[in-house]
Every structure is written in C-alpha cells, then in structure tokens.
Amino acid sequence: MRKQERAKIILHRLEKLYPITPIPLNHNSKFELLVAVVLSAQSTDKKVNEVTSNLFNAASSPKDMVKLGINKIYLYINKLGLANNKAKNIYNLSKIIIEEFNNEIPNTFESLESLPGVGHKTASVVMAQGFKVPAFPVDTHIHRLSQRWKLTSGKNVIQTEKDLKKLFPKSKWNKLHLQIIFYGREHCTARGCDGTVCIICRELFPTRKKGIVCIKP
C-alpha cells in the first residue's frame, strides 16, 4: 500500500471516529488560548485546565496578568512542571503584547514565535485554533503515530510536520492534527500499541509482525 493510500484511509477512519474535534484546552479568548498552550509543555491538558480555571478568573487579559506579577502567577500554576519558567514567560509575553502589539495577540507565526516561551508548535496551535489559519502542530502523539503509519521517516517534529503537510490537504490540517492526538491518546498509545495492535495500525499493515521502534522527537 502506497503512502498516499494510507493517508486516505487514515483521514476516513479518523473522520468517522472524531467528526467533532473540541479544543482540549479550556479558554475564552486568544490570549487565554496562548497562555494555556504555553502552560501545556510537559503537562497534561487535564492538569492545565485545572490550574487555568483559577488563573483566568484572576487574570484573563495581558494587563491583568502583568498586574498579577510573576510570583502570584507561579502560585496559580505551581502544580505544573517547569512552573518557574512558565510564570516568567507568561508575565513577560503579557508585557510584550501590551507594549509591542497594542494589547492584541499577534497573528503571524513570526510574531508569535518572538514571544517568551512560544516555539513553533505553540505558535502553530494558536494560529490553527485561535486564528483558523491552516497549520499542523506536531506533538509527541502525532510524531509517534506518523512513524508507526510510515507517513514520515523524520527524526524530529520539523521533518514530520513537512511530510504530513505534503500528504494531507491543507483544508484538513487544523482538524486532523487534533484527530490524530485524540486517536493517539485513546487507541495508539506509547505503551498500548507498538504499531501492531490498534485498529488503524492493523488495517494499514495487516502483515506486520514486529512492532515499530519510534524515534523520539
């Protein structure tokens, strides 16, 4: 089976499984989305939603976040990994948004990636989910499944993103990246499937005998 054929099957199966793709991180504005995505690094969405519930009640805008200050931001998020750095980044990016972007969330990859704590993946999530601009954020779930499904030979998320963008229609990127994440969490987990167990793996590679050793991003 050719790579393009596998891509079509994956699109079809994921659309049936996940016709609706709610954004996993709770937010009521682009600013809250940006903060939540920054907080999600090395943390689960569930844990992020727990801390942002109180954080956003206290500060839901850049101005409020700056008024809150680094120490108080830390108190709200200290259950998360890397809380010290995240508190500083949230304070500093809030200050920059006020001073350099007229209190508006920047709407380009370049501008977003200039903010503290915002890398390409974070910027891609905000562009896709906040501004509805086609993007394909690649996290560990997507990287792992892309290897298992032989959609990429990329040793890092940058190459995986490039390969996936070539394979799938641009109009599908924003929804598809969430569908793959949901599937990776529910069916094709790091320990629960080695490329031979889950429904899609078995359909794509019915004769596969050995599991796939995925290269970590």
Which residues carry out catalysis? 121, 139
b/e string for 83-111 if b means 16 or more Cβ within 10 A?
beebbebbbebbebbbeebeeebbeebeb
Burial bucket for residue 214 (CB in 10 Å: 0-12, 13-18, 19+): middle
In 3D, which of 82, 73, 70 has the Cα closest to residue 52? 73
DSSP 19: S
Dist CA 213 CA 172 (whole Å): 28
